[in-house]
Amino acid sequence: MKKAFNKTILMLVVIAIMSTVLSVFSFAEGGANVTVTIKNGGIVVARESVEVTDIDEDGALTINDALYCAHEKFYDGGAAAGYGSGMSDWGLSLTKLWGDNSGSFGYFVNDASAWSLTDPVKEGDYVYAFVYEDKTGWSDAYSYFDKSSVSAVSGEEITLNLTVIGYDADYNPVPTPCEGATITVDGKETSFVTDSEGNVTVTIPDAGSHVISAVSKTATLVSPICLAQINPGTNDNGLAVLAVCVMVAILSASLVIRKKINEK
């Protein structure tokens, strides 16, 4: 009786393990939609959606897969031209990012530092990879806004909070408010600056799609990204209405003139 019971438990454990393994392989085979940002000097890929598949066939969806697929989609010449990875003393490591082979790279997942290119990614994750600007002191500081995207009308106030990640003596990440950072819109500096709590209020007059980021005079920031969709404001609508009214007035006037000419 006891042996039969033990066999039953063993079978259940085996079935559970197999189900887990199969589900992982099934997930990897099916792929996932991941958002990717890549920075090489400037932002070259800004929060773009990438369909990630298991390109290295290791049975899992990883950072390596996400960056490979992002290069395949956005880099001129594809991943073969712009991306590289290989084994090192630290495991699977980046050898080329967006055509740069300096070896000075960093990458984060969901605004948290990742350990390895083999770290898993899943549906809805955010991967940010960058080339260090400071290739000697490695002082580039990762930063991020509290909002990944915003929608507003032209001239409407947009409130954001900016956080920068530093490290303590044991190299544990320490997020703090990013004070004194200048906001940029589409790469151009504005007059908006973050306060001591990292807060800032931004307005964008031009309708359309924009990329909000930030730079600092006291730190080399790994650029934060917030995508802004700005819709026409009331003034723009007013001008449109005025234009229609003018057209109607002109049409009415032409009809009146034509009628008078016909009467003569």
Q: What's residue 90's pLDDT?
A: 83
117, burial (CB in 10 Å: exposed 0-12, middle 13-18, buried 19+): buried
- The answer to whether residue 255 scores a pLDDT higher than 70 is no
CA–CA distance, 232 with 59 (Å, rounded to integer): 47
Specify the CATH number of the domain 141-232: 2.60.40.10
Dump pLDDT digits (tens) for 9-39.
Answer: 444 433 443 444 444 444 455 799 999 999 9
Q: Which residues pair with 221 in a beta bridge?
A: 141
> Of the ranges 3-7, 98-102, 141-145, which one carries the lowest mean pLDDT score?
3-7
Dump pLDDT digits (tens) for 190-236.
Answer: 999 999 999 999 999 999 999 999 999 999 999 999 999 999 976 54
Q: 1: helix, coil or strand?
A: coil
- The answer to whether residue 238 scores a pLDDT higher than 60 is no
CA–CA distance, 174 with 226 (Å, rounded to integer): 22
Domain boundaries, the chain: 31-138, 141-232, 237-264
If you average pLDDT over residues 228-247, what whole number do you get? 63
Q: What's residue 3's pLDDT?
A: 44
Residue 16 host element (H or E): helix 2-30
Query: Which amino acid makes up residue 112?
Result: A
Q: Which residues pair with 160 in a beta bridge?
A: 200
If you average pLDDT over residues 142-169, what whole number do you get? 97
Q: What's residue 99's pLDDT?
A: 98
Q: What's residue 241's pLDDT?
A: 47
If you average pLDDT over residues 113-141, what whole number do you get? 96
CB 194 within 8 A of CB 212: no
Query: Which amino acid makes up residue 27?
Result: F
CA–CA distance, 155 with 94 (Å, rounded to integer): 42
Q: Which residues, 6 or more positions from 190, have their beta carbon under 8 angstroms from its beta carbon?
A: 182, 183, 184, 202
If you average pLDDT over residues 128-154, what whole number do you get? 97
CA–CA distance, 160 with 212 (Å, rounded to integer): 10
Q: What's residue 68's pLDDT?
A: 98
Nearest to 60 by CA among 110, 21, 99, 88: 21
The mean predicted confidence, pLDDT, of the chain is: 85
Q: What's residue 258's pLDDT?
A: 53
CA–CA distance, 90 with 202 (Å, rounded to integer): 42
Measured from the Cβ of residue 46, the count of other Cβ atoms closer than 10 Å reads: 18
Is 31-138 assigned to CATH 2.170.130.30?
yes
Dump pLDDT digits (tens) for 46-96.
Answer: 999 999 999 999 999 999 999 999 999 999 999 999 999 999 988 899 999
Q: Do domains 31-138 and 141-232 have the same CATH topology?
A: no
CB 127 within 8 A of CB 121: yes
What is the C-alpha R_g of the chain? 27
Q: What's residue 10's pLDDT?
A: 43
Q: Which residues pair with 34 in a beta bridge?
A: 50
